[in-house]
Amino acid sequence: MATDITIYANSSPLGSSKAHITDSYDKDRPRTVLPTINTQICDEADLMPDTHLKELELCPNTGATLVTWDGLDDPQDPFNWPLWRKWWAIGLGLVASFICSMNGSILSVAHTAISTEFNISDGQFPHSYWATTSWGLGAAVIPLLLFPAMEDVGVRPVVLGTYFVFVILLIPIGLATNFETLVVVRFFSGGCVPITSDAVASIAANVFEHDRDRSVPVALYVLVYLGATSLAPVFGAAILQNLSWRWIGYVELIVTAALLPVLYLCLPESRGSAILRAKAKVSSREGNRVYLPEEEDSVSLRLRVAKSLLRPMRMLFTECVVLVAAIWAAFSLGTIYFFTQSVEKVYGELYGWSLIPTGYVQGAVVVGEVLGTLFFLFTNRWYNSSTTRNTEAPGTPIPETRLYAAIIGGFFGITAGMLVYAWGTVSPLVSTLGLVMVGFGSTAVVTSIANYLIDSYAKYAGSALAAVGLVENVAIAFLPLASPSLYEKLGVHWASTLLGLISLALAYTPFLVIKWGKEIRARSPFMKEAKTCRPEDSEAAAN
């Protein structure tokens, strides 16, 4: 029997960080489940029977024909698409992900202008940042309800629908007559973005069968998400300098609206069950009695939504690995959003920079994120070579080797970078080097944690990543709110130093997981059960 595993995630890369990942595999044609950078997730097992059985399989009760693929080489099967078509779909998803992900932080450079126009006071509390906070909350909550629909109707209609709504929601941003409107609209915009931006991870899982083929598109997805978040203040500053803060929304509207017809005309459906459903409709119109694989063993939408809420919460509070990973990943990702607020304070107080140049300097974080992505891809060779040392499951990589990149990223990236950012006052170039280092470390840590959880929890990886994604989005929503008061009370040096010390403490956690990895897996009921149906084990059996 085939298993259809669906991971529903919010906007963070661990969900990002990452996403909605759909993957089908059976005992004769094993599949592997991969992450998407992130956020809330519902993983279902045994939702579909073997969709690679012969075309004419009769239902014993009704005599209807089972609609499935025309053999293993069916060109309609996304796994059999030509390589150019796979990357065409992924490329469209990357463009959409980049444009949508910028929405989260692009208004951060305009908080002063917004406060002035709407008479918002930040004296006692940074109220002007609620527009960013509401976006993060929407990204955490709304996808919980919408992602399960992707399983029923496919990737294309859900992505196009939410992208269209996202475009419409950009109109009130430029036309808002009060601050409350801005906050509410941003909440719903944040809810739409994860579904569209995570399409890359979903498409990659649908069209590439093996881990080695998906690693590059998934890594690109994480890079695009983090890079868009860091570059958004750069573009926002340029618009604000030459026009006004309202034109930030207008420019976003123009760019996103221009992409909408391209997505409508060119984005193919990549979910196998949706393609089979369309195939069944054609056969039914021709007068044939047909049924679909999922009709044999269906799970209600309400049950899927319930699982997307309950299981991640249970794992967050009962699995120590998930809890620690959530805190570590949330802090790492939160630093990226933290910079959208702190850079203005640091560069303004230390170097006398105005608001616009401080927006530009955040592009340095993107340089670090690119380096972090390249470094993680390099460490894949450490992961692959660990198969020869694995005595617990011979022939498969050791999950804890995924964390080697997190160790280097934690100590030499985030921790060291925060200290350089805090005390490198001799020149703006030194502080900017600190931004590069933190961008490098955050990317390495987030990507490593996501892959470790997927390897360790297998069929429950979706719920584990959902728990992590929930904590990540809380950090995204509220950590920027703490930035002004933190720097006001501690000063530009010690505020960043405090974050560096927190990072130093968290950077030791991978050592504990690596040392006690076998014992942790032996005591975890989720890991023990997941091990019995690991896709890697299926491949080993097939070989």
Predicted confidence pLDDT, tens digits, the chain (543 residues): 333 333 344 556 655 434 343 333 333 343 333 333 333 333 333 333 333 333 334 444 456 666 677 777 888 888 888 999 999 999 999 999 899 888 888 887 787 788 888 887 766 666 667 887 888 888 877 776 666 666 667 788 888 988 999 999 999 888 888 888 888 999 998 888 877 877 777 788 788 876 667 777 877 888 888 888 888 888 888 888 888 889 998 999 999 999 999 999 998 888 777 787 777 777 667 666 665 655 544 555 566 666 666 777 888 888 888 888 889 888 988 888 787 777 877 887 778 787 677 778 888 888 999 999 899 888 888 877 777 777 667 777 777 888 889 999 999 999 999 999 888 877 888 889 999 999 999 999 988 888 888 778 766 776 787 788 778 878 887 777 777 778 778 887 888 899 999 999 999 988 888 888 777 877 877 877 766 554 433 333 333
Whether 289 and 64 have beta carbons less than 8 Å apart is answered as: yes
- Cβ-proximal residues to 432 (8 Å cutoff; 6+ apart), any chain: 361, 364
The three-state secondary structure class of 399 is: helix
Whether 246 and 174 have beta carbons less than 8 Å apart is answered as: yes
Total number of domains constituting the chain = 1
Domain of 296, CATH number, reads 1.20.1250.20
- Cβ-proximal residues to 491 (8 Å cutoff; 6+ apart), any chain: none
Residue 27 to residue 239: CA distance in whole angstroms: 54
Whether 332 and 438 have beta carbons less than 8 Å apart is answered as: no
Give me the domain span that covers residue 493. 3-542
Largest Cα–Cα separation, the chain: 80
Q: Return the structure tokens found at 207.
A: 């069209």
Angle between helices 428-457 and 363-385 in degrees, nearest 10? 40
